[in-house]
A and B are shown apart, each in its own frame.
Chain A
Amino acid sequence: MIIKRTPLNWLERLYIPSLINGFKVTLSHFFGKKVTMQYPEEKWTVPEGYRGAPYLVQDSKDRTKCVSCQLCEFVCPPKAIRITPPGPEVNLERGNIEKEPAEFEINMLRCIFCGYCQEVCPEEAIFLQEDYSLTGQSREEMIYDKKKLLELGGVRDSKVKKWDKKAADAAAQSAH
């Protein structure tokens, strides 16, 4: 299709009406309600359920909920997660929740905040939380280790206290 270009008339060639129109828009915003924000000093409060960076959480008894099942490591599309399972030593302190990871790393440069890890986790041990803008001075700094992930993650109990229930059942049965 050929579009015919109509030549500009003399008024249009002055550009003044267009300039005035432009200034009108600018001025209306200048005196109107402010919508910008002083990022990064000011930040958005994100809505609940927002999928930011994934962090590990603890239960209310200060136990790392993760049991290094490595499903998140498997499912993570950009391979951001790396878990070192604990090895054969029996950790009596953890009772029936065996297998706390020896190390748990998430490379935040790789993570795409997809939420698969949270979805796949059978222990409700990892959650995508509010942080969406992570910065660091080196690549190494952007690999968050277990300590950092737990600090950032905080405490989040599950409704079903599977391990406590199991421990209680076992105790009740061994009583008689």
Chain B
Amino acid sequence: MASETTQVEPKPVETITVKVNGVSVEVPKTTPDWQGNPVPTTILQACQQASKEIPHYCYHPKLPVAGNCRMCLVEVGMPAMGRDRKPVLNEDGTPVIQKGVLPYDPSLPRGAIACATPVAPNMEIYTDSDNTKMMREAVLESLLINHPLDCPICDQAGECKLQEYSVEHGQATSRFVETKVSKPKQVDLGPRIMLDDERCILCTRCIRFSRDVAGDDALGIVNRGSYNTIAAYPGERFDNNYTLNTVDLCPVGALTSKDFRFQMRVWFMKETKSLCTSCATGCNITVGSRENKVYRYEPRDNDAVNASWMCDHGRLNYKWAQREDRLKDCLIRDEKGTQKVTWATLSKALIERLNQAEKGSVAIIASARATVEELFLIKQLADHFQAITDCVARQGEADRLLVQADKNPNSQGATALGLCFSEMGIQIPSIEQGIASGKIKTLLCLGEDATKAGLDVSLLKQLECLVASDILPNPTVEVAHFVLPSCSHLEKRGSFINGKGRIQKFMQAVQPSGDARADWEWLRELVVGLTGKPIADTLPGVFNQCSQQYEALSGITWQDIGDLGVETKI
């Protein structure tokens, strides 16, 4: 849908001028709230625009404001008003500013919580005055009164806001000599979540997320005063498809993921920008890995796709890439048996073999899990052989938040590059008949298991040449004449077009296992060897070559995709 949008003059934004630490900043009068509705700009947002960070726990831009942790208290001053409702002026003509005083005098403006207090014209905000510091120290002291200081055994250590703010804004020593309140530890809240109540600072982010974003009002606070405790509804498990987002939201180590619990310290982990491949949404993620082992996925903010969330299913769907039984060897199988060979031998033999294939006698089953670059190269092969092509559809259930019914991460890419029709799998019966009638003699099964698509092993055995590439063993690979071990998305770079037509890219997190090699590399070798076409020898080069040839991608270069992706003309 390449609609020509007519340029509408943007409405002038109404602004308010405030002073942050004596520097004037002009901020818009309203800012979108967590649902995108305009609400008055708060002190915290004004300070963010002035590049002054205000410590906060309960505030989160994607959640309703609660204002309960008091961490964001700042000293503010307002122009004093005379009886005539006009600002009182100093002798030099500047307005008199009334600051809050501590101890608190009810007749004067005092410290305000930055997350929930709208800015007013000529307000003065002091983010590092002595009074602000005093308030921060007091808030942290009260938060730490009953905190267990479990840092050595706490998974959050290293990315804990309580640690960070205690270092930056807290006091060096504790004055608390009484006994700390002890609360339940190792609480089994749900199938994927473990709660440590002692560490909780009662910011209610988890409650608000579950209730307002996930739509499952599962959590609440029970008991009173310092015995306040987060709990699930009695007898209920905290179990929806978004529970693990509360682990990210929790500023301390109260909510921990059972999957990641006590696996690795966060400071050892390398972070790689990547994408979730479990459905067509393409949630942006950060992969945490250390020494070639992947430990966790975390959502990465992208307002155009997944906001700050991802589903639990996608988040935990990474272990298959590290399975022991992964395909690691290049194999050639003939009457004499199965031979393990090097890539050089395999490519040479495969090119020789495919050179003998007649035009029209080839079929290709590609995968809608392959990247745009790979599909582009497969398309070159398909055109060369005038092959009949298709992909394999994966359908599941959608939900109202993120999950889409299409479980392939790149269906749009496969369709746009012409490897399948929008009804995926419609060509499979023709391929089946073709093989049965002997018209199709060569089948390239790239990243898919032909038996899953409905082709029988006995049928596959009728083929003169079966080429299969995959990551994990499957029945097709077992009978293929050429086996090419390929890489998961964690081990290569590439791009996907998500269900809404946004192209996004992912980076390499770990090294491939065994002889497995990024698919685009060997596909390129095949294309160059068979067709003689000039193909760029870098991945960005291949993408750029692809985008020049397809209307849907025209004008988009690899660099343009950036970290957050861009809309295509699909």
Does A85 contact B179, Cβ atoms closer than 8 Å? no
Does B152 contact A69, Cβ atoms closer than 8 Å? yes
Tell me the complex Cα distance, A90–B264, Å: 16
> Number of A-B pairs whose CB atoms are under 8 Å?
53
Does B182 contact A86, Cβ atoms closer than 8 Å? no
Tell me the complex Cα distance, A85–B258, Å: 14
Tell me the complex Cα distance, A122–B152, Å: 7
| Least distance between B26 CB and chain A CB atoms (Å) | 45
Does B182 contact A173, Cβ atoms closer than 8 Å? yes
Does A69 contact B151, Cβ atoms closer than 8 Å? yes
Tell me the complex Cα distance, A166–B152, Å: 15
Say if the beta carbon of B63 comes within 8 Å of chain A.
Answer: no
Does B153 contact A97, Cβ atoms closer than 8 Å? yes
Say if the beta carbon of A118 comes within 8 Å of chain B.
Answer: no
Say if the beta carbon of B312 comes within 8 Å of chain A.
Answer: no
| Least distance between B130 CB and chain A CB atoms (Å) | 32
Across the interface, B185 reaches (CB within 8 A) one of A68, A96, A123, A173, namely A96
Contact partners of A85 in chain B: CB under 8 A: 262-265
Say if the beta carbon of A99 comes within 8 Å of chain B.
Answer: yes
| Least distance between B181 CB and chain A CB atoms (Å) | 7
Does B179 contact A169, Cβ atoms closer than 8 Å? yes
Does B262 contact A87, Cβ atoms closer than 8 Å? yes
> Mostly helix, strand, loop or mixed at chain A's interface?
loop
Contact partners of B267 in chain A: CB under 8 A: 74
Does A88 contact B258, Cβ atoms closer than 8 Å? yes
State whether A69 and B157 are in contact (beta carbons under 8 Å apart), knowing that A122-B151, A169-B179, A173-B181 are contacts in the complex. yes
Tell me the complex Cα distance, A170–B186, Å: 14
| Least distance between A21 CB and chain B CB atoms (Å) | 63
B13-40 contacts to A (CB < 8 Å): none
Measured CB to CB, the nearest residue on chain B to A165 is B179
Tell me the complex Cα distance, A169–B148, Å: 12
Say if the beta carbon of A70 comes within 8 Å of chain B.
Answer: yes
Say if the beta carbon of B239 comes within 8 Å of chain A.
Answer: no
| Least distance between A74 CB and chain B CB atoms (Å) | 6
Number of A residues, CB within 8 Å of B: 24
Say if the beta carbon of A98 comes within 8 Å of chain B.
Answer: yes
State whether A99 and B262 are in contact (beta carbons under 8 Å apart), knowing that A67-B152, A74-B267 are contacts in the complex. yes
Say if the beta carbon of B313 comes within 8 Å of chain A.
Answer: no
Does B153 contact A98, Cβ atoms closer than 8 Å? yes
Tell me the complex Cα distance, A123–B152, Å: 8
Tell me the complex Cα distance, A74–B152, Å: 13
Measured CB to CB, the nearest residue on chain A to B261 is A88
Contact partners of A99 in chain B: CB under 8 A: 152-153, 262
Across the interface, A86 reaches (CB within 8 A) one of B179, B185, B262, B265, namely B262
State whether A87 and B153 are in contact (beta carbons under 8 Å apart), knowing that A70-B268, A74-B268 are contacts in the complex. no
Contact partners of B186 in chain A: CB under 8 A: 90, 98
Contact partners of A73 in chain B: CB under 8 A: 265, 268
Contact partners of A169 in chain B: CB under 8 A: 179-180, 182
Measured CB to CB, the nearest residue on chain A to B180 is A169
Q: A20-35, CB under 8 A of B: which get 1 and which 0?
A: 0000000000000000
Q: A26-53, CB under 8 A of B: which get 1 and which 0?
A: 0000000000000000000000000000
| Least distance between A89 CB and chain B CB atoms (Å) | 8
| Least distance between B388 CB and chain A CB atoms (Å) | 48
Contact partners of A90 in chain B: CB under 8 A: 186
A122-138 contacts to B (CB < 8 Å): 122-123
Interface centre among A88, A172, A173 (most CB of B within 10 A): A88
| Least distance between B226 CB and chain A CB atoms (Å) | 11
Contact partners of A98 in chain B: CB under 8 A: 153, 186, 262
| Least distance between B547 CB and chain A CB atoms (Å) | 43
* Residues of chain B at the chain A interface (Cβ within 8 Å): 148, 151-153, 157, 179-182, 185-186, 194, 258-259, 261-265, 267-268
* Residues of chain A at the chain B interface (Cβ within 8 Å): 67-71, 73-74, 85-88, 90, 96-99, 122-123, 166, 169-170, 172-174
Pairs of residues from A and B, 8 with the lowest C-beta to C-beta distance, nearest first = A69-B152, A170-B182, A88-B261, A70-B265, A99-B153, A85-B262, A122-B152, A67-B153
15 contacts between A and B (CB under 8 A): A67-B153, A69-B153, A70-B265, A73-B265, A85-B263, A85-B264, A86-B262, A87-B263, A88-B262, A96-B185, A98-B153, A98-B186, A170-B182, A173-B181, A174-B182
